[in-house]
Each structure stands twice: as C-alpha cells, then as structure tokens.
Structure 1
Amino acid sequence: MKKNIFAVCDLEVEYALNFMDYLNQKKNIPFEIQAFTTVENLITYGKHTHIELLLISGRAMCKEIRELDIGKVIILSEGVHPPELDQYPSVYKYQSSSDVLREVMACYGAEKKTMSDQLAVLKKTTEILGVFSPLGRCLKTSFALTLGQILAKDKAVLYLNLEEYSGFEELMGRGFDHNLSDLLYYVRQDNQNLLYKMNSMIQTVNNLDYIPPVQMPADIRTTAWQDWERLLQMIMLDSSYEVIVLDIGCGIDENFQLLDLCKKIYMPVLSDAVSQCKIAQFENQVRIWDYPQILEKIQKISLPFHMVTEPSPSYIEQLPWSELGDYVRNLLRKEKG
C-alpha cells in the first residue's frame, strides 16, 4: 500500500524546500511528502491525487484549494490570518521544524478515530534492542543514547528511557510539555489515536527520536505489564520505526517479560567483585523465573571510561564523536561480521 500524501505549500520557496528536506530526513514520518511553492501546482496535483494532510500558508489558501479532496487542512500561520481561515487549525510558522511537525501531528490526530484505515506504513520488521544492567554507574544510558544516534544515521530509531530517575530535563536544561507519563495515560485509556499522540511528543537529537522520560518514578512502578506490551506493539505494528532502543531500569516488576521481547540485550558490566556478584544474582533470578532464553540474548560489554562532570545540553549530541562512540561503531562492525 502507498503512503498517504502530506503536502506542504508555502509561497516562500526556501522555507518550503527546507521544511520538506527536514521531513524527508525523518524516517518515521508515515506519509509521502510533497512540497509546493505555487498555488497552481498544488491545485493541479490535488485534482488527480488525494491529499490526506495539507499544511499551507495562510497567504496561499484560496477557494479552489477548499474545493479539493483533502483529508485535513492546517494553516501555516505567520501570526495573523484572515477570519475566514479560523475554521482551520493553525501552527505558527516561525518556530523550529521539529516543533511545527509535533503540532501538525497533534492537530491531525485530534480528529482521527482509527489508525489502521488512515495510515499505511511501509517499513521493515521492527527490532527491539535492550540496554540493561543490574549495576549502577556503568554508563548504561550513555551507551544507549550513543547506540541510538549511530543507528539513526541509517534507520528510523526510537529511544525509550524506562528508568525511574533519568535526569533528562536536568541534563537537557529544559522542560518538556509532554513525556512518557502522558503517553502511558493514553495507553491505559485505550486511545485509538495512540500513534498520533506519540508523534506529537517526539523530540529529536542527531536524527534519533525519543519521548521525554517520566518525571515521577511512580509512573514507572505503577504501569502494568499489559500497558508496556500494548505500547510496544503499537510502535512495532503501526509506526515506521525500524529499531526501538529500550533503556531499561530496575523499577519495572515485569522486567523479564520486557527483556524477553528484545532481539538483543546489551549489558554494561564492571570488573570489581561486588559488581560480579550482582550480575551472578541477576542471572540466577533469570533461571529461577524460567527465562533462560534471556541469557542467550545478553551481550556483556565493558565500556571505556567516560566522565563528564558538568551537565550540558550538548552532552548527548557529542556522544557519537566520543571514545564511547568509537566503541559502539566497532561493536556494530563486529556484529555485522
């Protein structure tokens, strides 16, 4: 099946083309992107092809476009627009492309009742890569973020942090309007717009998409296994992500079930005696709970020393170019044979 059409029309040529380039770099966008810089070309295209989603400058909107077969029209606003356009939702033009896209996805999903008949996603099978360790201070999250960014150069990758205390807002030096807690709420409500809700929360760093982690530890502890399973199934079946990187903490009661979903599990380890005993205890628990297949998926890794004393928003972006990035690239090269 072909993807639905997401058309962008702006009379400012440079803006339209730059925004189209941004969308084409987003491998998870479940649409075919078309950009137009003249109203005439858009009308000609729309007469022969159904446009599911149209993001159009208020200055370009006209009677002929209203008469086209368009699923959803969203105005790309410069701050003010004529009263006759008030019937359409709008997003502010002069903000980051990622913010524009999040608002567009939120508007588009607001009126969609189902996903399956509105969205055709063309992708390969989604694989889940787990990053887990019963140890602390072992660079688990730094490794997961490095792995995700390096994989995201060639694939559509989503990073999910499932820790009780991720420190993301503190590390990034900013707050987020929505985070994983909000998405889990929609999962519990059995919301049929779950994919669009998720797309409206996505943040990006070096082409790696992520949903900001929870701020309240209870949101991890109190989430039932069925809800984790439903969320991951939605991403695997309905989204266009090819890889999910799960940064798994120890606060989820059903960790063994979660780990069992992973194709591979990277486990950062340390060489001291106490750390080795903790690893042994974890492995014994896996056998007691009858999940021996998990042990076969685990790849223990000893990560290079890596320390940053001051938190910085650029820390995550710099990881692929650090010694840790070199380690991950070598690791992936060896896995490819």
Structure 2
Amino acid sequence: MKKRIFAVCDLEAHYAFSLMEYLNANNRIPFQIQAFSSAESLCAYRDRNLIEVLLISGQAINDEVRNLGIQNTYILSEGEGMPEFLDYPSVYKYQSSEHIIREVMGYYAESAGPKREADSPENRALTVGIYSPIRRTLKTSFAITLGQILAKDRATLYVNLEEYSGLSALLGKEFRNDLSDLMYFVKQGNKNIVQKVNEMVQTLNNLDYLPPALSPEDLRGVTREEWGVLFKEIGMKSAYERVVVDFGDTAEGLFELLSGCQQIYMPVREDAVSLAKLQQYEELVRQSGYGEILDRTKKIKLPYHNSFGLKEYYLEQLAWGELGDYVRELVRNDGLQ
C-alpha cells in the first residue's frame, strides 16, 4: 500500500532536509517524507501529489499554500505568537526532532484522520507474548532483551502489561503520558490509534516502548475487547514488524490475548512449587478451551546473572551479557528475525 505524504517546508533548506532525514530514519512513522525550501516548490509538488500532513514554517506559508486545502497543516513556530496562524496548531521549531514529531502526531491523532484502505494480512506484525505463572523468572529482563535484539533489524515495539513494571524507576524517567492514557483514547472510540501510539512511544537502544501504566487499577478497567482493538490496530496498521508483549495477570481476557500471539515464551523454574503452579496453569488453559496456546508456548530456563552494575544502566546492558547471548541464539533458532 502506497504511503501517504508528510511534507516539511522551511526556508532554511538545511533545517528542512535534516528533519526529513530524521523522519525517514524513524521507521515507525507511516508516511513518505518530502522536504521543501520554498512555498513555490511545495505548491508545484502538490499539483501532482496528495499531501496528508504539512509541517511548514511561519515564514514560508502564504495564501497560495493556504489555498492548497491541506487539512492537517501545522506551523513550525519560532516562539512568537502570530495572530494570522491562530487557526493552525503550532509546534516549536527549536526543539529535538523527536519532540517535534510527537507533537505533530499528537495533533494528527486528534484530527479526523484519513480513510484507510483494507490492510493486507501479509503486512501484519508478528506478535511475541511473554508470560509465566511463576514469579522471579527474569521474565521482564528477557522480554526487554528480546525486544532490543529484534530492534537491531526489525521495527519493534515493547508493551508491558504488568501490574508493577518498574520501568520508570529503572530508566530514571517520568512519563507525561502512559498506557492508561492510550487506553482511555481507545475507550473513546477514536480511530487514529496508531498515530496516538507514535506520539507516545519512547525509545531504548532502538527499541520503541509504550510507557506502562502507573496503576494496576487502570489495567483492570480495560476490557478484553479494548485490548483487542489496540493490538489489532498496532499489528495491522502500524509500521512495526515485531510486537513484544510482556504480560502480567491483570489484563482481562489473558488467554484470549495470548491466543493472538504467534509465538509465546514462558520463563520457568524447576522447583516443586513452580512446577505445581505451571501444572495448574496448563490445566486451566485446557479447561478454558485455549489449548492451542500451549502448542505455541516455548518454555525457557533463563541464565541467571548476579549484577550488571548501576541500576540506571541495567536495561541497556542486558543485551551484552549472558542473557543477551542466550536470546540471540533463541531468535536465530526460532526464525524471529
């Protein structure tokens, strides 16, 4: 399916083309990026091509550009309030490219958005679920390591559905928006879910991740149908090729969500209590009519490690230790790349 056009227009040619290069390198943006250094070249291009999104500096816009009728037009502002642009959402020009695109995609997600063509099943992302009924198995360490390794070659998104992910503390970051806000967006029946995802994602070593929910109560308030909508939209309409979902026990419809995964990894332990929990889980899965989950589940016993040094570097270092070596071999053997 042909990508829609995202046009950047700024009289500073270096700025426009540098932003274009960043956006083209950012493979989660579902647009073809075009850069222009004058209103004339932009209008000439528009005569032959449809433009879905236009990001243009206040110095470049004129009546001819306004008359193009591009619905999703946003102004690159240098900080001054210009009354003639009050009808357009504005984005501050002199901030990081990452923040610029988040703001633009946020505005775009709130707009009516485009009518979509039918999506091809061949374009669907491969969803990898990570779940275990057993605690203290390095499940999240494994999931994030897997995500980072997949992200070296594939556009990959990590989603944590645990009650207490600990990611904010591990990364030393506070998130302005998180999974709770995204699911509220889904609950409202908004259509541009993928654009909202693109606005919210953070990045760790090329791995995109959605900031996890702060409160377990927010996760409990999401229905299985709403989770289904989110993962279907990401799987079918985003630019991601791999989606790694780190499951906890709170999400409604856990078995149904697991059944939507093409591959499931289950970190396990071999003590008597752990084996008893595993047996109970498998019996419940069969009784619930989801026996196919067990066929797609690969039990793994992960190599333990003592320490990777300072907490703030723990997640980045995972891929380079014994666990990373284990995951790389697993990815090769299971054909996940």
TM-score (norm 1): 0.90
Whole-angstrom distance in 2 between the partners of 1:42 and 1:53: 12
| Superposed counterparts of 1:1-337, under 5 Å | 1-80=1-80, 82-112=82-112, 115=114, 117=115, 124-306=123-305, 307-308=307-308, 310-312=310-312, 314-336=313-335
The one-character-per-residue Cα deviations of 1:4-31 (angstroms, maximum 9, x if unpaired) are 1001122334433332222122222121
Whole-angstrom distance in 2 between the partners of 1:73 and 1:120: 26
TM-superposed deviation, 1:298? 0.8
| Percent of pairs with identical residues | 50
Q: Do the aligned partners of residues 318 and 93 (structure 1) sit closer, same or farther apart at CA in structure 2, a change above 3 Å counting?
A: farther
Q: Is the Cα contact below 8 Å between 2:6 and 2:33 reproduced in 1?
A: yes
Whole-angstrom distance in 2 between the partners of 1:178 and 1:320: 27
TM-superposed deviation, 1:69? 4.2
Equivalent AA in structure 2 for residue 305 of structure 1: Y
TM-superposed deviation, 1:119? 7.1
The one-character-per-residue Cα deviations of 1:218-259 (angstroms, maximum 9, x if unpaired) are 112232211111221222233232222110012234211111
Q: Secondary structure at the match of 2:72?
A: strand
RMSD of the TM alignment (CA)?
Answer: 2.3
Equivalent AA in structure 1 for residue 201 of structure 2: I
Q: Do the aligned partners of residues 250 and 99 (structure 1) sit closer, same or farther apart at CA in structure 2, a change above 3 Å counting?
A: same
The one-character-per-residue Cα deviations of 1:171-215 (angstroms, maximum 9, x if unpaired) are 221211111111111222222333333322222222322211100
Whole-angstrom distance in 1 between the partners of 2:81 and 2:12: 16
Q: Is the Cα contact below 8 Å between 1:4 and 1:119 reproduced in 2?
A: no
Whole-angstrom distance in 2 between the partners of 1:220 and 1:141: 17
TM-superposed deviation, 1:39? 3.6
Q: Do the aligned partners of residues 309 and 249 (structure 1) sit closer, same or farther apart at CA in structure 2, a change above 3 Å counting?
A: farther
Q: Is the Cα contact below 8 Å between 1:3 and 1:120 reproduced in 2?
A: no
Structure 1 portions without partners, runs of 5+: none
Whole-angstrom distance in 1 between the partners of 2:302 and 2:39: 55
TM-score (norm 2): 0.90
Whole-angstrom distance in 2 between the partners of 1:21 and 1:321: 29
TM-superposed deviation, 1:118? 5.4
Equivalent AA in structure 2 for residue 89 of structure 1: P
TM-superposed deviation, 1:328? 1.4
Q: Do the aligned partners of residues 163 and 228 (structure 1) sit closer, same or farther apart at CA in structure 2, a change above 3 Å counting?
A: same
Equivalent AA in structure 1 for residue 9 of structure 2: C
Whole-angstrom distance in 2 between the partners of 1:44 and 1:175: 44
Q: Do the aligned partners of residues 317 and 309 (structure 1) sit closer, same or farther apart at CA in structure 2, a change above 3 Å counting?
A: closer
Q: Is the Cα contact below 8 Å between 1:51 and 1:71 reproduced in 2?
A: no
Q: Secondary structure at the match of 1:5?
A: strand
Q: Secondary structure at the match of 2:47?
A: helix
The one-character-per-residue Cα deviations of 1:253-311 (angstroms, maximum 9, x if unpaired) are 42111111111101112233322222222222222223221111111122222334643
TM-superposed deviation, 1:70? 2.1
Equivalent AA in structure 2 for residue 96 of structure 1: S
Whole-angstrom distance in 2 between the partners of 1:119 and 1:34: 22
| Residues paired across the two proteins, number | 334
Whole-angstrom distance in 2 between the partners of 1:68 and 1:252: 46
Whole-angstrom distance in 2 between the partners of 1:134 and 1:145: 18
